[in-house]
Structure 1
Amino acid sequence: MEDLKIQNVNLEESKNLERHRTEGFSGSKTLVVRRGAPIRVGVQLEGRAFDPKTDSLRIKVMLGRRYVIMPVTFSKKVSPRRWKAYIDPEDLDLQNPSIFISSPASAAVGSYGFQLYVFSQGVKKTCAFSKFILLCNPWCREDAVYIPFEDQREEYIQNDSGLLFIGTSINIVSRPWSFDQFEPGVLEACLNLLQVSPQHQKNRNMDYLNRNSPIYISRVVSAMINSQDDRGVLTGKWEGDFKEGVNPSLWTGSGDILTQWADSGYSPVKYGQCWVFAAVMCTVMRVLGIPCRVVTNFNSAHDTNDNLVIEEYYSETGQKLKHSKDSIWNFHVWVECWMNRRDLGPGMEGWQVLDPTPQERSGGVYCCGPAPVKAIKDRRIDLFFDIPFVYAEVNADVHAFLVSKGRVVSHSKDTERVGSLICTKAVGFHRYQNITGDYKYIKSPNSTLQSRSSTMSEDSTSGSSKGVLVVLDLDKAPVAGEPVHFTVKVMNKHRVAKRIKVHLNAQAKEYNHSPSDTFWESHGVVQLAPMEVKVIHQQILPAEYEDVVGDDVINLAVVLEDLASHERVLASEEFNIASPQLAMQIVDADSIVPNKEQVAIVTFTNPFSYPVSGVLTVTGAGLIQGKVNFRMLPLRPGGSVTQRIIFIPNKVGTKMLQARLSLSGISSAIRGFKMVLVSRA
């Protein structure tokens, strides 16, 4: 009788990639599949055909030193809890059988090896070895990361580009970002991130055992994105210069960061700030198969003494002072991942907050979450993980104190400003989706007006409506190159005339710092008849703000002083000035196919009052290899320049072409993007 030998094992890559929705990883040297779904393996036997009466097949699947051995059966019945290997009896070719390997829906994520053994009459005759990478599976109902809507799976797993939202809630800036999860080297870097983690280095067997849980994986990744406790991906830097690395504002995608980290032998990349940490974590989670989205919390509180109160101090002329350890970031960016939370009981499944920006330790390590969004809304601070910290970020009250000669002369409270808007990219659209109501119970539709107004009452403890009311309002969202128009509305609620001194003060600030010195101010006196309302129109000209504003924010405050009683009242607003956009146009946008040269046109018009020059950088995952740079010569005020960009798509689908203009001597970059639909040839 002839020996039975394995001539070849075929992982049937194209069919498996399609079945497992992993076509984006087709460039990987190793087959990429998802747990809870069968992998089809073609076996070509040498010599005689397989005889089920005398021959048998076994498969050994290995992750590190952990392994399972299973017989290959002729039963298609599988369990979502166990490994199973079978031959489909309805599609039986005994010379070239197809074997299906079915993994549990809770199998550990990682890079597996498997061996196929052939036995004849109980004696091992031959074996073959191969490998596959196993990810979480949001398409599988039994998987802890199952998300039930296809458009959400497309957005939160497959979408390799998106928007990050920064600025302020009254002037939101959409920053394009390339998640790059299917770019060369990114998958390997994400898997290596798990291998480099302290949990894996300390106890590899236990780490592999725990990698079945998205809760565990997400905490490991949250800690590994920053480099505070480990060989993590990014070093954070929030002040000083960035000469030893890259200014966080200049990153356009996650791929460069992850591959640089991996290529350097896992030395942290310099530098990141919150949106960079969050965007890179989003990439890693999407690669690992865990649905993920980037979330921005506008006016995010950092409550250092856990009293849910943020204190701010102003001088009698409206200058914001650096008196408090508490702080409010104009925006803070984290991620949400979708998973069930059987560890917390019913009702806590769904979106979970994870924050890789190193702020506070959790379990002794700089990570945060997963904290169920539902638990944050209901202030379930008894549950895991880090719910009190996130709750304060979106719910603290702001107490503003007006100080004169070292003494507090006025005090007001704002319960609406912190967490005024929480948003993420909308599914399938390039705009933001307001998800504030997921985090907190919305109190009042008029909260924005209340937050910008303040009352000078006769008795500050009585809450009397009598006195002088001030409202500070921007006329429209400010744009670079145009005056900032705003109004101060002053209302005398007394039945006697009043003379009121009006102090206006503007300071520039970074989104996460106290303001710097005053760069613009105005002082005057208004006469108010009994019960009179006066509206004061003001403007800050471009020449007055453009030296201090790049990616920065302006803190604008008004202080009214009653010249008779010397009572004072404060109103303030923080806003950003939107940079102009680069205009982008795709030539022949309806006929774009892979491997064919295409053309895009980028146009910039100088909005500044002086000539500018700089470097235009164009990137696009699946469209351009690496980066393309163009130097822009000095451009006069109001002048326009166009640049022709040639790109050759190499992937099918909707891709993002990004352009960034870095101007000499200006801290902000000017951006633009265009979505490009690449059709099959």
Structure 2
Amino acid sequence: MANHNDVILDVDLRSHENNLAHRTREIDRERLIVRRGQPFSITVQCSDSLPPKHHLALVLHLGKRDQVVIKVQTERGAGDKWWFSQQGAQGEKLLTLHSPPDTAIGQYRLAVLMMSPEGQIMEKTENHKFHLLFNPWCKDDVVYLPDESLLQEYIMNEDGMIYMGTWDFINSRPWNFGQFEDYVMDICFEMLDNSNAALNNPHMDIEQRSDPVYISRTITAMVNSNDDRGVLAGRWEEPYYDGVAPNRWTGSVPILRQWSKHGARKVKYGQCWVFAGVACTVLRCLGIPTRLITNFSSAHDVDGNLSIDVLFNERLETFEGSDRRDSSWNFHCWVEAWIRRDDLPKGYDGWQVLDPTPQERSDGVFRCGPCPVKAIREGHLGLKYDAPFVFAEVNADIIHWIVQQDGQRRQIRVDQRSVGRNISTKSVYGDHREDVTVHYKYPEGSKMEREVYERAGRRVTDTTDGMAKPGQLQLSIKHPKPVFGTDFDVIIEVKNVGGQDSHAQLTMLSKAVTYTSVHRGECQRRTASITVAADKVHREVLRLRYDEYAECVSEHNLIRVIAFIEVPGENEPILTMTTIPLSMPEVHVQVHGKLIVGEPATAYISFTNPLPVPLKGGLFTVEGAGLLSTTQVQVLGSVAPGQKVAVKFSFSPMRTGVRKLLVDFDSDRLKDVKGVATVVVRKRYGRIMFM
């Protein structure tokens, strides 16, 4: 086929120039990585003895077994075909390739052919590989996002904040998405290659990789390991001895690398924010604008009736009659991806809910979405994918029942206002919280809200949440914002708004719960017969001591306090509850001096034991995109109450820009204490030598 005097001497993919223009230089500077719908140039060096009327041709191969073969046209077509133009003399030609904005993403193999005038292949060089990603900067790509500040956050930012806690006490933790760290892009494509669709029908899968709806749905399934060779196994209760406790993770990169290194074997363990963090990393890396969302007081509606039934026995213990019951989580994390929905009627472009946490099946697989946020706001639940489930997460009623000994249910509280509160994401303009609830729901009590509820089939009543009827008693719980390790008081207030004294039986209990409302044990219980004078307030104090709650509190450090009051002769008891997050101390992280790429820097980490007991087995885990791979530093010996422990370690920054150094501290009695330092890494400038 080839002439002995080779005509094609060299092919240069011009990775440095192309990657800079395509905003992929952070991923890799040596390999060619480009975005679809945007031209890129290569140079082909030919010998001067180019036979007359011979010409160059380009052929692309996509898929591990070349499932798709694309002949690149030599002139511009209708916009849905690859084409190339060329400039230059006989010796060196500059070829500019133009990809359609709706072509499949993936690793392409490029063959450069020398063709005779009769159409015969005279010479062929074909071992030239490049990756193609989605292009949110291209107006014809369905992931196009026309705001540069949003793109800098939702594609380019490798650091994020995840919001946790309770709706009335929101805390945050930093997360290292690390989508441009070494080999992360390769692992993202490895995830696609390991999906059930790719393994069962590779040709169909490759052809569908042009569609971000298909890609995002595949990734959402592959982040969890429930149905496939997915990345993360979920576990919502201790023990985690055969893996990593979900709270330990500070970023996605170690999870993805561990999964890939061990041959697509699931990594243990994740919970909702870990699943969402990994999904955000993968989607941003592939070029789909993505942000992480936290919904507070999030409903998990198993039976699809838009109400969550919470069952207690007569001792106010969670009823054990069903292990597949509805539940309400203190918070739940998912992601939103920015996609134009050409597969739906007009009006549903923009942010789409994707939830990789395995809760319910969608088309037989544990995944959720993409579901348009606008469909949730308007109550249009007939749209794909999984709109009824997402709508319930932010709108369901919570109905509390007491199951009596004879099996009869007694309804004691209907709550129509607590689900779906303070829906949050990290702001584009800094490390602070942006409330996006208005994107999901109309204002409470508004005419539009009622219309949406009626459209969605959710009943609306005038029940007042947790409050007694006029003329009766009212019940509330007040508490400080306690720190884990301290003793604190919770105050139960009973207010008599009637004109007569009232005699009542008050039950108060505190219990440890997980953030998904699984009860882990009772801390204390008290019952009191009280008399509340007319127009007066009666107060009872529950003292919560560290040495008592430390024995039963879960790894989420949450205490739920329930107050229940019954008035003899009246049928309507009153129940109220609150969940108290115990805040954690902070790890202090400092980095001194200027940080230069490739030059050693030193970080100083310190932490003071806030508990009245010593800590053993202390371990600091450090990571940071562009700074260092995950590193562990052990604390020798025990840390006495009130003692400060300090360590230092060296690292050499790998990439320039604003970076975050993330630290996690773990010990036997105190776990998942976080710290973060923001640093600026500068370029290395050449030194002038004087002789």
Q: Same fold (TM over 0.5)?
A: yes
Task: Tell me what 1:462 maps to.
Answer: none
Question: Is the contact made by 1:244 and 1:270 (CA closer than 8 Å) also made in structure 2?
Answer: yes
C-alpha deviation, 1:276, in angstroms: 1.5
Indicate which of 64, 67, 71 corresponds to 1:65: 67
Does 2:22 match 1:20? yes
What does residue range 169-568 of structure 1 map to in structure 2 within 5 Å? 169-314=167-312, 318-323=316-321, 325-402=325-402, 411-443=412-444, 454-457=466-469, 465-474=470-479, 476-536=480-540, 538-549=542-553, 550-563=555-568, 565=570, 568=573
In structure 2, the residue matched to 1:649 is 653
Paired with 1:353 and 1:60, the residues of 2 have a C-alpha distance of 38
For the 8 Å contact 2:512–2:519, the answer to whether it is kept is yes
Match of 1:670 in 2: 673
CA distance 1:538–1:228, shift in 2 (3 Å): closer
Q: CA deviation at 1:350?
A: 0.6
Among 584, 589, 602, the residue aligned to 2:589: 584
Which residue of the other structure, out of 594, 607, 612, is the alignment partner of 2:615?
612
Give the direction of change, closer, same or farther, for the CA distance of 1:423–1:102 in structure 2 (3 Å limit). Answer: same
Aligned mate of 1:596, from 594, 599, 617: 599
Distance, in Å, in 2 between the alignment partners of 1:144 and 1:394 is 27
Give the CA deviation at 1:630: 2.2
SS at match of 2:482: coil
Return closer, same or farther for 1:240/1:481 CA change in 2, 3 Å cut-off: closer
What SS does the aligned partner of 1:116 have?
A: strand
Q: Secondary structure at the match of 1:517?
A: strand
Equivalent residues of 1:409, 1:568 under 8 A apart: no
C-alpha spacing 1:380/1:546, structure 2 compared with 1 (3 Å)? same
Q: Deviations over 1:246-289 (max 9, x none)?
A: 22222222222212212222122222222221111111111111
**Change beyond 3 A, Cα 1:166–1:50:** farther
Change (3 A) 1:211 1:274: same
CA contact (8 A) 2:628 2:652 kept: yes
Q: How far apart are 1:72 and its partner, in Å?
A: 3.6
Q: 1:105 aligns with which of 101, 105, 116?
A: 101
Moved more, 614-623 or 494-503: 494-503
Q: Secondary structure at the match of 2:141?
A: coil
- Which whole-Å CA distance do the structure 1 matches of 2:652 and 2:223 have between them? 32
1:532-567 deviation per Cα after TM superposition (whole angstroms, max 9, x unaligned): 234555542333323333423211111123356585
How far off is 1:14 after superposition? 0.7
* TM-score, normalised relative to structure 1: 0.91
Conserved? CA contact 1:452–1:573, under 8 Å: no
Return the offset for 1:585. Answer: 1.7
Using the TM superposition, give the Cα deviation of residue 520 of structure 1 relative to its aligned residue in structure 2, in angstroms. 2.1
**Is this contact kept in 1: 2:413–2:465, CA < 8 A?**
no
**Is 2:63 aligned against 1:82?**
no
Shift, 1:608, TM fit: 0.9
Secondary structure of the equivalent of 2:629?
Answer: coil
* Contact 1:2/1:48 (8 A) holds in 2: no
How far, CA to CA, are the matches of 1:409 and 1:495 in structure 2? Answer: 28
Q: TM-score, normalised by structure 2?
A: 0.90
Which amino acid in the other structure matches residue 99 of structure 1? L
- Compared CA separation, residues 240 and 617, structure 1 to 2 (3 A): closer
Greater shift after overlay, 523-532 or 257-266? Answer: 523-532
> How many angstroms does 1:71 deviate by?
4.3
CA distance in structure 2 between the aligned counterparts of 1:541 and 1:451, rounded to whole angstroms: 36
One-letter code aligned to 2:125: A
Partner of 2:458: none
The Cα shift of 1:481 comes to 3.0
Preserved contact between residue 335 and residue 353 of structure 2 (Cα < 8 Å): yes
The one-letter code of the counterpart of 2:84 is: A
CA distance in 1, matches of 2:442, 2:107: 44
**Equivalent position SS for 2:228:** coil
Give the residue type in structure 1 aligned to 2:557.
D
Q: Find the aligned partners of 2:279 and 2:56 in 1 and give their Cα distance.
A: 41
Report Cα offsets for 1:70-104 as digits up to 9, x if no partner: 3445xxx676422110025xxx3442111011100
Change (3 A) 1:124 1:515: closer
- Distance in 2 of aligned mates of 1:416 and 1:592: 49
Q: 1 CA distance for matches of 2:491 and 2:577?
A: 12
Tell me the secondary structure at the aligned position of residue 47 of structure 2: strand
Aligned length: 657
Letter in 2 for 1:437: V
Contact 2:73 2:82 in 1 (8 A): no
Secondary structure, in 3 states, of the residue corresponding to 2:114? strand
Identity of aligned residues (%): 34
Q: Within 2, Cα distance between the matches of 1:165 and 1:150?
A: 24
**Does 2:124 correspond to 1:127?**
yes
How far apart are 1:513 and its partner, in Å? 4.0
Shift of 1:317: 6.0
Q: State the Cα deviation string for residues 213-253 of structure 1 (Å, max 9, x = none).
A: 00111111111112222111122222352222222222222
Aligned position for 2:449: none
The Cα offsets for residues 514-545 of structure 1, whole Å up to 9 and x where unpaired, read as: 31332123333443222223455554233332
CA distance in 1, matches of 2:602, 2:464: 47
SS, match of residue 342 in structure 1: coil
Gaps of 5+ in 2: 447-461, 685-691
Q: Partners in 2 of 1:632 and 1:428 — Cα distance?
A: 40
Q: Does 1:32 find its partner at 2:33?
A: yes
- CA contact 1:317–1:503 (8 Å) conserved in 2: no
Question: What displacement does 1:432 show?
Answer: 2.1
AA in 2 matched with 1:578 = S
Q: How far apart are residue 594 of structure 1 and its match? A: 0.4
Distance 1:26 1:220 in 2: 25
SS of the residue aligned with 1:337?
A: strand
Moved more, 160-169 or 210-219: 160-169
Query: Aligned-pair RMSD on alpha carbons?
Result: 2.5
Q: Report how far residue 623 of structure 1 moved.
A: 1.2
- Residue of structure 2 aligned with 1:138, choices 136, 139, 155: 136
Distance 1:484 1:348, change over 3 A: farther
Deviation at 1:347, TM superposition (A): 0.9
Q: Give the distance between the partners of 1:577 and 1:240, measured in 2 at CA.
A: 18
Aligned partner of 1:460 in structure 2 is none
CA distance in 2, matches of 1:570, 1:436: 27
1:648–1:50 Cα change, 3 Å: farther
Q: Secondary structure at the match of 2:499?
A: coil
Q: C-alpha deviations, 1:140-198, integer Å up to 9, x for none?
A: 00001011111211111111221222222222232222112222222111111111212
For residues 289-321 of structure 1, give each alpha carbon's deviation from its aligned partner in whole angstroms, at most 9, with x where no partner exists.
111111111222111221111122345665444
Q: Say which is worse superposed, 219-228 or 338-347, in terms of deviation.
A: 219-228
